[in-house]
Structure 1
């Protein structure tokens, strides 16, 4: 029996990392079926390079979360998911933004970093907890 104040860390798989055109706000997009993924991919994203990475997703057991960083002013930004936690029925995706290192050349165009993960299917709300990597973390890669 699970205590109503319990916190469970959930396993997750990274399906893809890259740039998500038209995902302009930091948000966790929750998709519970192939149809939902295909709809988001074809309507919101409208870009042929956005991959269908769901071929090994078991939609009866898993759901997909697209974690979007939102619009950034140049290349060099990235996003990592480091933990997924279920706390009293609310799933929280903990992600970290990595900013460009100084002194390197980056694409001078708007970018939209994103990570696509698969997690065990759960009912309830999903929240995004986004932090920025510290200078020490940035210099250590």
Structure 2
């Protein structure tokens, strides 16, 4: 049990660092201790609170064929961040655009808002932790 919790703390710590590196609007403030406290809050939120919320909202999740789970995950992420306001800042940022010439794929430059940043950060944290669990 302690080994499982310690692994989750490490996974969430690394995932938060990956999110800070990947998303310019997600900023970690403060020392390493703040990151470990945040990882602890996320470990509790995503492993204890989120399954209870998913169970309560299961009918809605079934009707939407699982799409509502994205909003549940983002809401739990937002709620966890409310306890950590002195360690994190989420702000809007400018995406400079991207294109791949050979196939003619282009994504236009755009302004990414706070809500979109939070949803993308929540999904990236979840993805990173899932990958770490598969690897280790």
TM > 0.5 between the two?
Answer: no
TM-score, normalised relative to structure 1: 0.21
Q: More strand by proportion, 1 or 2?
A: 1
TM-score under structure 2 length normalisation: 0.22
Larger helix share, 1 or 2: 2
